[in-house]
Chain A
C-alpha cells in the first residue's frame, strides 16, 4: 500500500507519539441495564488518543470496542449508562473539557465539530430521499449559524471532491452511488466541520477488499493533509496493522495491551494478542503456524474472578484466578517506555504481593 503516512516499521521507542493528547478516556465504566443487576461492560477502561495519530481498537465481537467509543461520546442508546470516569477533550487552543460533564446543549454543539463519527454500516446511514449534497450541507448548517445554504452546498461539494467523488454527483440520491462511494460520502460528512477526532466504527466491514483498501488509503491521505486523530475500530487486525500508528487490544471490556502497531505485530506481549495474531495468516514475512483461540469470550454478566482471559490462555497459572491484572509496563527489558500490557506473567510484583509464585515469561511473549 502506498501509504507514506504510515511508518512501515515503527521505531522501537516513542516513534508513534505524534503529539499531545487530544482525547483522554480515564477509568470509563459503562453498564447495560438500569436494574439491580446491570451488566458491567466496561470497568474503568482508559485510553489516550494523541493529536494526529491513528489509534486502532481491536478485539473479538462483544469485547467492548464500540461500547468504549460510544460511551466516551455519550451515544450509547438506552439502557446504556455511563457509571464513572472522565473523557477529557483538549481543544486546539489547549482548553480541556470533560465530555461526560457537558450539558446537552454544549454536547450537541461539540459533536461533529470536535469529534465526528463514521458509523458501523455507514452505507445505510444516508437518508434515501434526500440528495447527498444536501445531507452533507445539513450537518454544516446545523453547526454554522448564519451560513447561507449556497455556501454550505459549496462546502459539501468541496468535501465530496476531497474524498474522491466528483462534485457534480452531489445532486445524486444515495441509491445512485455504490457502497464504497456511500461510505466515502459518510467520511466527507464526518470531516465537513474539520473535527479533531474521527471515530470510525468498522467503516469497511461491509465492503470488499478492493474498496476497503481505497477507503483506508483515503483516510490515511486525508489524515496527513488535515491532521485529525482517528480511533479506528475493527476486528480485522491485519488491516489495523497497516493503517494504525498505535493499537489497543481489548478483551472482555478491558484494554489488555497498548503498543505501537508494529510492536503489536512483531512483539506481542499479551497472550490474547499473541493468539489473535495466530488467527490469521501474515501477508509478508516468515510463515507462522495458524491456530485459533479456544473457547469464546466470557459472559460479561458473569465474569470469572481474576483475569478474564485465563480460561482460554495457554500461559495461565494459579495466580491468574485470584489477581486481576492491571495495565502496566511489560516485563521485557528494552521495550518502548509507553507500552502497556495487562498480564500477570509480566507483572511479577502483583503476583508476589498476592502471595503466589511468579512464573517466568514464556518465549512467545518476550520476542525481541
Chain B
C-alpha cells in the first residue's frame, strides 16, 4: 500500500489561524473571573487609599477640634469623635497600617509555612517528625493570647514588629496542609519519573511539586492575610498596640472606650466595621477566584458562570447537561 505522505505534511495548513487570540485570552483568564475581578477591585481601592491616604485625608487624624461627637456633616463626612477629630481622616490614614501589616504578615507566614511544610513532607523521617512537632506546638498554642504577650513585652511594637509576630504565630496551619499535600504528591508517578530522569531534589521540589501546590499556597496566603488583618485590628481594639499609629482597630478602640454604641454615635464604629468586612470580602473573593482558576476542572465552569446561567446549564458530575443548540439535520 503506497500512501501519499505529502498530504500528511499539509495538515498544518488546514488549521485555522486562531492561535494568537486564544493565547492572549488564556493569559487573562484569571481576570475574566467575575469573583476575582470584584475582589481585586475592592482590594485595589483599599491599596490606593493606603498609598495616597495621608495626602487626601481632609484633616490630620490627631487634630482636635471643638466639634465633639458630631454626626456626619458637610465639613466632617463621617462625623467626629469625642475629641472632635475627623473619623474619615482616621480611617483613610489607618488603611496603610492595616494593609502593610496584613501583607507583610501574610508573605512571611506563607514563606515559613511553605518552607516547613514542603520540607517536612518531602524529606520524611526525623526531619518530618521534628518539623511536624514544631507545627503542632504552634497549632495548639492559643494564638491571640500569645500575640498579646509577645506584643506586650516588645519595647517598640510598630507595624512591622506586629506583622512579624503575627507571622510567627500564624504559619502552622498552612505548613500542615502543605505537608499533607506534599506527602501525597511525593509518591505520584510523575515525581518518581522526575527522580528517574535524574532531576536534583531542589529541582523536583521547585519545578514539580511547588506548581502543584500553587492553589493551596495562594489560598493559604489570602487566608493568612485575613487572619493578620483581623489580629492586628483585634490587638488595636483591645488596646495592646500603641495608639499613636492609626488603623481601623484604633478607631474602634476609641469608639468602644467612649461608649459610642450607647451614645448612638453609629458614624464612629459602623464605617470602620464596614471597611474590615469589605477587605475581608475582597480577600475571600480573590480566594474563590484563585480556586476556580488554578483548578482546571473548575476553570471552565468558573470562567463562564454567567453564560452557563443564561443557557440554563448546571454543570454536575454524573448528570451531563443537555442543551439543544447544535444542528440536528442528518438523516
Q: A: which residues have CB within 8 A of B?
A: 26-27, 29, 31, 33-35, 37, 40, 43-44, 46, 70-71, 74-85, 100-101, 104, 107, 275, 278, 289, 291, 294-295, 298-299, 302, 304-305, 310-314, 316, 326, 364
The answer to whether A84 touches B328, judged by C-beta atoms less than 8 angstroms apart, is yes
15 A-B pairs in the complex with CB atoms less than 8 angstroms apart: A27-B330, A34-B315, A74-B320, A78-B301, A78-B316, A84-B323, A85-B328, A294-B3, A294-B8, A298-B11, A311-B7, A311-B8, A312-B3, A314-B1, A326-B330
B316 CB, nearest partner CB in chain A, Å: 7
Residues of B within 8 A of A314 (CB): 1-4
The answer to whether A100 touches B301, judged by C-beta atoms less than 8 angstroms apart, is no
The answer to whether A35 touches B324, judged by C-beta atoms less than 8 angstroms apart, is no
Extra contacts, 18 of them, besides A44-B328, A311-B11 (Cβ < 8 A), are A27-B328, A34-B301, A34-B307, A34-B313, A35-B303, A44-B330, A74-B318, A74-B320, A74-B322, A76-B320, A83-B325, A289-B1, A291-B1, A291-B3, A302-B18, A305-B14, A311-B14, A364-B1
Residues of A within 8 A of B10 (CB): 311
The answer to whether A43 touches B326, judged by C-beta atoms less than 8 angstroms apart, is yes
The answer to whether B16 touches A302, judged by C-beta atoms less than 8 angstroms apart, is yes
The answer to whether A77 touches B317, judged by C-beta atoms less than 8 angstroms apart, is yes
Interface status of B300 (Cβ within 8 A of chain A): yes
Count chain A CB atoms within 10 A of each CB in B16, B22, B321 and give the residue with the most.
B321
A181 to B319, CA, bound (A): 30
Residues of A within 8 A of B303 (CB): 34-35
Residues of B within 8 A of A312 (CB): 3, 7-8
A343 to B121, CA, bound (A): 57
The answer to whether B322 touches A82, judged by C-beta atoms less than 8 angstroms apart, is yes
Task: Name the CB-closest residue of B to A27.
Answer: B328
A325 CB, nearest partner CB in chain B, Å: 12
How many pairs, one residue from A and one from B, have CB atoms within 8 Å of each other in the complex? 114
Other-chain residue from B308, B316, B326 in contact with A44 (beta carbon distance below 8 A): B326
The answer to whether A81 touches B323, judged by C-beta atoms less than 8 angstroms apart, is yes
A278 to B2, CA, bound (A): 12
Residues of A within 8 A of B307 (CB): 34-35
The answer to whether A29 touches B326, judged by C-beta atoms less than 8 angstroms apart, is yes
A-B complex: 10 closest residue pairs judged by Cβ atoms: A84-B326, A29-B326, A79-B300, A304-B14, A78-B315, A83-B326, A295-B8, A76-B320, A74-B320, A34-B304
Q: B: which residues have CB within 8 A of A?
A: 1-5, 7-8, 10-11, 14-16, 18, 22, 297, 300-301, 303-304, 307-308, 313, 315-331
The answer to whether B3 touches A82, judged by C-beta atoms less than 8 angstroms apart, is no
B23 CB, nearest partner CB in chain A, Å: 13
A364 to B3, CA, bound (A): 14
Other-chain residue from B4, B322, B325, B330 in contact with A46 (beta carbon distance below 8 A): B330
B323 CB, nearest partner CB in chain A, Å: 6
Residues of B within 8 A of A311 (CB): 7-8, 10-11, 14
Task: Name the CB-closest residue of B to A35.
Answer: B304
Query: Contacts A34-B307, A34-B308, A326-B330 known; A83 to B16 CB distance under 8 Å?
Result: no
A86 to B20, CA, bound (A): 37
The answer to whether A79 touches B301, judged by C-beta atoms less than 8 angstroms apart, is yes
Residues of B within 8 A of A79 (CB): 300-301, 315
The answer to whether A81 touches B321, judged by C-beta atoms less than 8 angstroms apart, is yes
Other-chain residue from A35, A81, A85, A316 in contact with B320 (beta carbon distance below 8 A): A81
B327 CB, nearest partner CB in chain A, Å: 7
B289 CB, nearest partner CB in chain A, Å: 17
B135 CB, nearest partner CB in chain A, Å: 29
Residues of B within 8 A of A77 (CB): 297, 317, 320
A43 to B325, CA, bound (A): 12
A37 to B303, CA, bound (A): 13
Residues of A within 8 A of B317 (CB): 77-78
Residues of B within 8 A of A40 (CB): 326
The answer to whether B300 touches A295, judged by C-beta atoms less than 8 angstroms apart, is no
The answer to whether A84 touches B325, judged by C-beta atoms less than 8 angstroms apart, is yes
A313 to B4, CA, bound (A): 8
Residues of A within 8 A of B304 (CB): 34-35
The answer to whether B319 touches A310, judged by C-beta atoms less than 8 angstroms apart, is no
B259 CB, nearest partner CB in chain A, Å: 54
A74 to B304, CA, bound (A): 21
A275 to B1, CA, bound (A): 9
Residues of B within 8 A of A291 (CB): 1, 3
Other-chain residue from A37, A80, A85, A100 in contact with B18 (beta carbon distance below 8 A): A37
Task: Name the CB-closest residue of B to A73.
Answer: B320
Residues of B within 8 A of A26 (CB): 328
A29 to B318, CA, bound (A): 18
Residues of A within 8 A of B1 (CB): 275, 278, 289, 291, 314, 364
Residues of B within 8 A of A100 (CB): 322
Task: Name the CB-closest residue of A to B11.
Answer: A311
B75 CB, nearest partner CB in chain A, Å: 52
A74 to B10, CA, bound (A): 37
A215 to B22, CA, bound (A): 46
B321 CB, nearest partner CB in chain A, Å: 6
Residues of A within 8 A of B11 (CB): 295, 298, 304, 311
A229 to B14, CA, bound (A): 40
B309 CB, nearest partner CB in chain A, Å: 11
B328 CB, nearest partner CB in chain A, Å: 5
A312 to B9, CA, bound (A): 10
B331 CB, nearest partner CB in chain A, Å: 7
